Structure 1
Amino acid sequence: MATDLGVARDAAPEHTVAPDPAALQRILDGKYAEVRDLVRRNLVEHADLLGEVDDLDRETYRDRVLAIVQQVAATGQTGFGFPEEHGGGGDIGASIAAFETLAFGDLSVLVKVGVQFGLFGGAVLQLGTQRHHAAYLPGIIDGTILGSFAMTESGHGSNVQALATTATYDVATDEFVVETPHDAARKDYIGNAARHGELAVVFAQLHIGGESQGVHAFIVPIRVRDDAGELVPAPGVRIEDCGHKMGLQGVDNGRLWFDGVRIPRENLLDRFATVSPAGVYSSEIESPGRRFFTTIGTLVQGRVSVGGAGINAAKVAMVLAVRYAERRRQFEATGEQEELLLDYGQHQRRLLPLLAQTYALHVAQEDLAAELHAVFSGEKTDGRSRRALESHAAGLKAVGTWHATRTIQECREACGGAGYLSASRFAALKADTDVFTTFEGDNHVLLQLVAKGLLTDYAGDFQDADQFEMVKLVAGIALDEIVKRTRAHQLLDRVRDLLPTGAEGEDEAGLLDTDYQLAMLRYREEQVISSAARRLKRGVDSGMNPGAVFSQVQPHVIAAARAHMDRVVQEAFVARVAGLEDGPEKRALGLLVDLNALRMIEADRAWFMESGRMSAARSKAVRREVDALCRRVRPIARQLVDAFGVPEEVLRAPDLLGPVVTAGDPPAVGHEPGHHTQGETAERVAESA
């Protein structure tokens, strides 16, 4: 079925009209435009913090961040995702929109909000029952009950099932006894723990009568007030500051140890399992593996939030770099006047494909947030929808945060020495987002989760399967069945049909066909998944241990997940643009659809050539088309970044955004250097094309 963007790609360039940034912003902000605007106003109100951070000592910075978080909570923006009966807004989609928009500002504030309302509050909401909601949610929502999310241990991060902290039920006192058995079991990197947290949701192995029931979550007080009213560590709780970090100095990360800490039986968050006063354990989910995955799956909102925050932090970097490149001149390339940086082909190549990818990821993130809302609001109740959500969230968190890391670095370099100044925000953006690639799970581990879903689809629904069981499941399928179940052989003919003359073309014809672009991405995905499955099967069939097989094939497994996410993101982008009304905004976004697709195909040209899907001549044609698309996007780059709606007050980069004037080159009257009027932009579109 043809995918029609409704964009006349071969229209005469002189007919191109620049998009309206405000109209583009309305498209990007979507149904939660009012929510995003509320956050923008709050960011402007507290923007002074961005200019003061370097002069604040750590504890003052942390207290300022806490004060801002509590002030923001009073506006209601941090409570959108909680039930209305407890003072929230009852809209998880709005909560995600608010959180990711907060990434335009100080990221310590963002992470503090994420810990308090997303991780701590989300765990109480999703894992607790009505009594926990009534007791804790109102205070969590208004910021008067401060808490931590104590899952990660020094010895165990991603492998949550192997956590060593214990919670042993004492039937004589109707209490759980929480214990840190050894130093590797200390809870580590815990936000809100070193200074401000009073409670923690602690994940621990539940022991009853000498038998382990697996990992469960408990509410544990970590601080109490002494006779003078000061907060001090609770009895049996040892707290240590993690110390100076690469970034996020405004977040009080700490370490926690528990030495025989007693908590009431009611402090077990018992949505999925209960313990009676007599010590009888019961759960509606009989399988321990499924129970664990169900418990962890309810916390997927954290991954969705972190991925969205990374994408929005990348937007800030894009705004700074593009606007600087439209003002800064360097060398006399075409005449007596020095050339603007963004008029150089290499500078366009550095920035504009990343801009296209940022737009594509934004759209995919919106779709993911809508999935989350549908599942958590009860609109979708089937298990397949929840598992699809978990996989989608893991994959987009990985690609979104990696994109942030790469984009911020490239944009910093593109701004030269001016970008190296702390006042230009890149220092904070780089330092504060670097941990996003390991927040909420290491990105490579998350891609393994995505790949597990792709591979076990070959053998049916095996949600409980760990990676080694997955290997054995795949190995149990006949090789010809693996080939049969892949769509790659079907896509092969479709790709050929889309190429000029039904074979490998020697020029640019057909490269801007959306069906061709998607078919290439789908073909690669199916081939890589099939290849990974065949490698897993051959390894087990040869007598290798499943664990050794998985380790050996792991790079192919992760490549399959990456290819899958490339396709998912591009399909989302295509669908969104195809649904817009025709006009300058749709045509501008159509250029970005093409640029993002060909960017991915170009980046993996070697694979396509090895697989016989691209000739050397076609490969060169792809490269030329990416260059041409960059030239066509260049005149509207300013409008495209303005559409992100990053408030001027939070950009705070005078050396990047202030006037950059060379001798004998005064700024034009009426508008900033490099900031073209709509008429001028249309002329530049015609010239560049």
Structure 2
Amino acid sequence: MSTPSSTDVTPATVAAVQLALDGRWHALRDEVRARDDFAHLRVDPDTGVESYRAAVGEMLVRLADEGHAVHGFPVAVGGRGDIGGSVVSFEMLAYADLSLQVKSGVQWGLFGGAIQALGNAEQHARYLPGVMDLSLPGCFAMTETGHGSDVQSVHTTATYDAATGELVIDTPTESARKDYIGGAARDARMAAVFVQLYSGGERHGVHAVLVPVRSDDGEVLPGVEIVDDGHKEGLNGVDNGRLSFHGVRVPRENLLDRYGTVAEDGTYSSSIESENRRFFTMLGALVRGRVSVSGSAVGAAALAQTIAVRYGEARRQFAAPGSDEEITVLDYLAHQRKLLPGLARTYAMRFAQNELVEMLHDVQTTREAGGDVDEKRQRELESRAAGTKALTTWHATATIQACREACGGQGYLSENRLGQLRADTDVFTTFEGDNTVLLQLVAKGLISGYADDFGHLDTLGTVRFVADQVLDTVAERTSLRQLAERLRAVAPGRDEEDVRDRSWQVKLLDDREEHTLDGLVRRLRPARDKGISPERQFAIFNGAQDHLLRAARSHLDGLVLDAFVRAIDACTDPSARALLGKVCDLYALSLIEEDKGWFLEHGRISATRSKAITAEVNRLCLELRPHARALVDAFGIPEAWIGAPIATGAEQRRQDEARAHAASLA
């Protein structure tokens, strides 16, 4: 680990902060960090698309040969049964190459995950060993050209033919082709295809079917049509393609039938009677992909900030008054403002992500063991995964751009990685669920208080639900209010005028959430009127979408702050706790500052307090500036993985040479 830039932040403190950031799977993170080949997994950005795809494919084989994929798969088929570990190991790939990371996610997270979550024990034994060792490369065919977020309305069909015992897969229209499917254009031999299932003349809703798409020698199979999506804005090491099926027949046994099965005579049966509930149970079982994308975004943001902060400490510009020595750009408040609040937010997002991974691991491990999973807990997991993924991916997009700008022309050079990080992560905001749609899912859950049917409805169904319910009370409150009360009890003597009083920060965010949610309910209440038309119901819902999104965002901000506070409480090193406390203050106050228009409009803060918040953000930036290098070192990214010359000493050498030259002239 590199030496911290501040004399009062010791390597031991940095190690303690890293331990807090690493969370429950810190040992696994260290195991991955110990690899000495990750620096060589990265591909030159000048590599052509076909060569890039081939290189990523070769690297994926290397990872498979070394057992990188086994963490999350069942012990019965050769895995480790460590679902949380699979997400963490996937996240670490963000530091190497994002195309490799996404490609591995398609193979082991989406394709393998679909078989694991939706298949039976026999299907696990038949397919998962080949998924893990890459002898069965596959893809995950859910999204259609005409149906992205609305998976329940996909048009691809699987019709059971009782005479032959086969399912017939068809793409009825061009808009029903499976699109943007990673692995389809080059490598996949089989696809997990999401279809509308028909048997006995009846439709049974969305199910997944395993459909071979290529032979063992790579030839496209009869009835399967594959079109390469071509060059993309990023992630060009991933072979995205379009799939269409024309009367493709597969055995009945290829139906992933954990939640619904077709008997030999065509009789359909399911342990879940409601089609809506069955569909959302299936999607809930696949939530790991969304959690993994969220972790990738946090990792990409951390890497970008490591590069930008290191460069900011080395790059000098303009001489200080009365001195010939140029000033380090990170000593300028404007530069600190550009980087440090975002760095604090990455810390907050990492702690929230850690809690999400723990929740995923505990819920899905219980399910895999055959235990009962509380439905409310499952809904909470789905809602938190949706919301956290939206926050972390938007944060990564904004952060990487800020880091690129903070590095000036050097940040625009491909060798310094920021441009590639920006291009590769841009799509994170729309895959595994469009972020705006995901925030609506969070808000629906807040309104209903996780009522049994609400989360399973489409837009019109949601409106009708609202019309049928008494909305005089809103969802269960988050833990923010209880947290504020606990913080006040711990430090009762804190000055209420002190904006660093965390109980005040928490209370302010809690008030915003409660007010916003109450306002949303009031705006939706007219939909309850008797005799109101469906068109008017939809207009009411549509007109409240801005409030819907704000309510979700306010709720999620509280969850993230709550996670940060818990991480500080769990940290046993006093110096690390103190440093994390300042970072947490910067996160909370910059969050409030960002939305202080709302707090002023709604009388939650005065103009004087508003100015005090801005002044305190500036003060915290100045206080944390000496520790900036220590804070990015605590991400624990091995030196050899960083790869950007401006972050690995090249800029410092240039500055030293310039000073030596100036001295010689003097």
Give TM-score scaled by structure 2 length: 0.92
Q: 1:488 and 1:253, CA in 2 relative to 1: closer, same or farther beyond 3 A?
A: closer
SS at match of 1:232: coil
Residue 129 (1) aligns with residue 116 (2): no
Work out whether 1:262 is the aligned partner of 2:255. Answer: no
CA apart distance, 1:125? 0.3
- Decide whether the 8 Å contact of 1:451 with 1:558 is kept in 2: yes
Cα distance change of structure 1 residues 484 and 185 upon mapping to structure 2, 3 Å threshold: closer
Contact 1:38 1:77 (8 Å CA) reproduced: no
Structure 1 residues 146 and 287: CA distance shift in structure 2, 3 A: same
Contact 1:452 1:467 in 2 (8 A): no
Judging changes above 3 Å, is the alpha-carbon distance between structure 1 residues 81 and 635 closer, same or farther for their aligned structure 2 residues? same
2:279 to 285, 288, 292: 292
Deviations 1:225-245 (A, max 9, x none): 4xxxx3100111011110000
8 Å contact from structure 1 (residues 418, 656) kept in 2:
no
Provide the C-alpha distance between the structure 2 equivalents of 1:66 and 1:288, rounded to a whole number of angstroms: 38
Report deviation, 1:478: 5.2
Flag the 1:335–1:664 CA change in 2: closer, same or farther, 3 A: farther
Farther off after superposition, 380-389 or 86-95: 380-389
Question: Quick one: which of 368, 379, 382 aligns to 2:356?
Answer: 368
Tell whether the 8 Å contact from 2:192 to 2:209 is kept in structure 1 after alignment.
Answer: yes
Equivalent runs, 1:140-219 vs 2, <5 Å: 140-219=131-210
Residues 1:387 and 2:373 are matched in the alignment: no
| 1:176-575 paired onto structure 2 within 5 Å | 176-225=167-216, 230-336=217-323, 337-378=325-366, 381-457=373-449, 462-477=454-469, 481-482=472-473, 509-539=497-527, 541=529, 543=532, 545-575=536-566
Q: Is the 8 A contact 1:49 1:106 kept in 2?
A: yes
2: CA distance, partners of 1:172 / 1:218: 19
Contact conserved, 2:9 with 2:627, CA < 8 A, in 1? no
* Structure 1 residue 24 corresponds to structure 2 residue 53: no
Is this contact kept in 1: 2:379–2:450, CA < 8 A?
Answer: no
Aligned to 1:279, what secondary structure does the other structure show? Answer: coil
Q: Is the 8 A contact 1:21 1:642 kept in 2?
A: yes
3-state SS of the aligned residue for 1:308?
helix
Q: State the one-letter code of the partner of 1:177.
A: V
1:139 matched to which residue of 2?
A: 130
Matches of 1:244 and 1:271 in 2, distance apart?
A: 37
Give the letter for the 1:665 counterpart.
Answer: R
Asked whether the equivalents of residues 488 and 527 of structure 1 are also in contact (C-alpha less than 8 Å), the reply is no
Secondary structure at the aligned position of 1:249 is classed as: coil
What does residue range 575-586 of structure 1 map to in structure 2 within 5 Å?
575-586=566-577
Supply the distance in 1 between the matched residues of 2:189 and 2:180 (Cα, whole angstroms). 16
**Whole-angstrom CA distance in 2 between matches of 1:99 and 1:663:** 40
Question: Which residue of 1 is the match for residue 655 of structure 2?
Answer: 661
**Is 1:118–2:109 an aligned residue pair?**
yes
Corresponding residue for 2:51? 60
SS in 2 for 1:167: strand
Q: 1:211 to 1:478 in 2, by over 3 A?
A: closer
Amino acid in structure 2 at the alignment position of 1:465: L
> In structure 2, what is the Cα distance between the partners aligned to 1:440 and 1:404?
15
Counterpart Cα distance in 1 of 2:480 and 2:329:
45
Identity, in percent, stands at 50
SS for the counterpart of 2:319 is: coil
For 1:235 and 1:17, locate their aligned partners in 2 and report how far apart those are by CA, in whole Å: 64
Per-residue deviation, 1:380: 6.7
* Offset at residue 650 of structure 1 (A): 2.2
Contact 2:171 2:246 in 1 (8 A): yes
Distance 1:564 1:485, change over 3 A: closer
Whole-angstrom CA distance in 2 between matches of 1:265 and 1:663: 71
Are the structure 2 counterparts of residues 15 and 646 from structure 1 closer, same or farther at C-alpha, using a change threshold of 3 Å? closer
C-alpha distance after superposition, 1:506-536 (max 9, x if no partner): x993211111111111111111111111111
Please, which of 74, 87, 97 is the counterpart of residue 96 of structure 1? 87
Query: Which 10-residue stretch deviates more, 233-242 or 657-666?
Result: 657-666
Structure 1: how far apart are the matches of 2:267 and 2:54? 44
Aligned length: 642
> In structure 2, what is the Cα distance between the partners aligned to 1:370 and 1:251?
29
Whether the aligned pair in 1 keeps the contact of 2:310 and 2:646 (CA below 8 Å) is no
Counterparts of 2:381 and 2:215 in 1: how far apart (Å)? Answer: 39
Q: Distance in 1 between matches of 2:567 and 2:273?
A: 41
Matched residue SS, 2:203: strand
Unaligned runs of 5+ in 1: 1-12, 668-689
* Contact 2:43 2:97 (C-alpha < 8 Å) held by counterparts: no
**Residues 303 and 489 of structure 1: CA distance in aligned 2, closer, same or farther (over 3 Å):** closer
8 Å contact 1:455–1:470 — kept in the other structure?
no
TM superposition shift of 1:63: 1.4
Of 74-83 and 138-147, the range deviating more from structure 2: 74-83
- What's 1:45 paired with? 37
Q: Secondary structure at the match of 2:571?
A: coil
- Within the candidate set 569, 594, 609, 2:600 is matched to 609
Separation in 1, partners of 2:254, 2:91: 31
Deviation at 1:474, TM superposition (A): 3.3
CA deviations 1:349-393 (Å, max 9, x no partner) are 110000100011101100000000110111772111111000000
| SS at 1:257 equivalent | strand
Q: Which runs of 5+ in 2 are unaligned?
A: 1-5, 662-666
CA deviation string 1:450-501 (max 9, x = no partner): 111001118676343333333333344556x24898799999x989x99x99
CA distance in 2, matches of 1:561, 1:419: 34
Whether the aligned pair in 2 keeps the contact of 1:39 and 1:102 (CA below 8 Å) is: no
* Corresponding position of 2:664: none
User: 1:653 and 1:372, CA in 2 relative to 1: closer, same or farther beyond 3 A?
Assistant: same
Post-superposition offset of 1:335: 3.9
Offset from partner CA, 1:123-168 (integer Å, 9 cap, x none): 0000000111010001101111100000001010100011000000
Q: Deviations over 1:86-119 (max 9, x none)?
A: 1111100111110111111110100000000000
Residue 248 of structure 1: SS of its match in structure 2?
coil
Q: Which moved more, 1:64-73 or 1:361-370?
A: 64-73
Report SS of the residue matched to 1:296.
Answer: helix
In 1: Cα distance, 2:318 partner to 2:636 partner: 32
Query: Aligned letter for 1:211?
Result: E
CA distance in 2, matches of 1:70, 1:490: 50
Contact preservation (8 Å) 2:387, 2:439 = yes
Look up the equivalent residue of 1:590 and give its one-letter code.
Answer: G
